[in-house]
Structure 1
Amino acid sequence: MRSLNRFLKLRDVLVRTKWLYLTRVWGMDIHPTATFSLSARFDKTYPRGIHVGAETYVAFDAAILSHDTTRRMYRDTVIGRRCFIGARSMILPGVTVGDECVVGSGSVVTKDVPPRSVVAGNPARVIRSDIEVGPYGRFKPEAAAPVVESV
C-alpha cells in the first residue's frame, strides 16, 4: 500500500514558496511558523492588511479578506497566534481573531473573536470560551479522569 506521506516534503516546499511569495512580493504579514493549505486565499487587493500570527493554520479554501470594494473599505484583518481557520470559512475585512481560537468550517466571521474561543456559523458566533489549544489550534487532550478503585 502506498501512502501520500511521501509527498509531505514536496508540500512543505510548496507552502514555504507560497509564503515567500505572499510576504516578500505582496507584503503580507504572515509569521514564518504559520502554515496554510495551498488553496487558502489571502486578499491581494490590500495585501498589507493581512496579518497571521505564529503557529496558526488556515485550512483549504478559507478566505482572509482585507478589503470591501462596495463600501470602499480597506482594513487590517488580524488572525492571532495558535489559531485554526476551518475549511471554506471567510474572515471579513477589519476582523480580529484573538489568540488560540478555532473558527469552524464554513463560518463567516463578521465581528471580532475574543481570545481562546470557538466560533462557528453564518454569521459566526461564539459557541465555546476559555478553550485550551496547542500549536495550529489543535485541542489539547483532556486530562485523564482519575481512576477510582473499588474495594
Structure 2
Amino acid sequence: MRKFVWNIVSSIYPRFLRTVYGMNIDLKSVISYKAQLDKSINPKGINIGAHTWVLAGALVLSHDHSRSLKVDTVIGDNCIIGVKAIILPGVILGDHVVVGAGSVVTKSFPSHTVVVGNPAKIIKEGVVVNNKGQIVLN
C-alpha cells in the first residue's frame, strides 16, 4: 500500500510543477515535494530530464536576483541530485550525473560523472544510472 501511494504522489508533483509553473520537467522524473525548485522569477528556466531524481532539500535555481540574471538550468536524463545539494543558475548537467549530498554545483559538468563538494568537482567518471535512480557498476 505504501509503495502504491508513493507512486501516485511522486507522479503528481512533477505534473503540478509543469502545469502551474511551466517548468520543463519530464513526467518520468521523481521530484521530492521537499525539494526547492525556483518558482519565483524564472520557473520556466528549469529543465529536468527523464528518470532524474531530485531528493529532499535539493535547491535548483534559475535566476540570480543580485545580478538580474535569468538563465536556464538544465539537468539531463537519469541524474541523481542528492539531499540538500544546490544547483546554481545556468548550470547544465549532462545525462547520468550524480550530485553528492550537500554539494554546491557552480559550473556545468559532462555526462557520466559523479560530482561532490563545495564547489562541486568530478570524483568519478564513467558512471551509469538506471531508470530507478540506482548507480550501475561497470
TM-score, structure 2 as length reference:
0.93
RMSD: 1.3
Cα displacement (A) at 1:21:
1.5
For 2:10, the equivalent position in structure 1 comes to: 15
* Alignment partners' CA distance in 2, 1:125 and 1:61: 20
For 1:43, the equivalent position in structure 2 comes to: 38
Letter in 2 for 1:105: A
Q: Residues 25-36 of structure 1 correspond to what in structure 2 (within 5 A)?
A: 25-36=20-31
For 1:3, the equivalent position in structure 2 comes to: none
Tell me if structure 1 keeps the 8 A contact 2:127–2:137.
no
Q: Residues 102-117 of structure 1 correspond to what in structure 2 (within 5 A)?
A: 102-117=98-113
Cα displacement (A) at 1:68:
0.6
Letter in 1 for 2:61: L
Residues 114 and 40 of structure 1: CA distance in aligned 2, closer, same or farther (over 3 Å): same
* Alignment partners' CA distance in 1, 2:61 and 2:39: 8
Identity %: 41
Is residue 65 of structure 1 aligned with residue 61 of structure 2?
A: yes
Number of aligned pairs?
137
Gapped runs of 5+ residues in structure 2? none
* Alignment partners' CA distance in 1, 2:33 and 2:2: 14
* Alignment partners' CA distance in 2, 1:60 and 1:97: 19
* Alignment partners' CA distance in 2, 1:141 and 1:83: 15
Q: Residues 75-90 of structure 1 correspond to what in structure 2 (within 5 A)?
A: 75-90=71-86
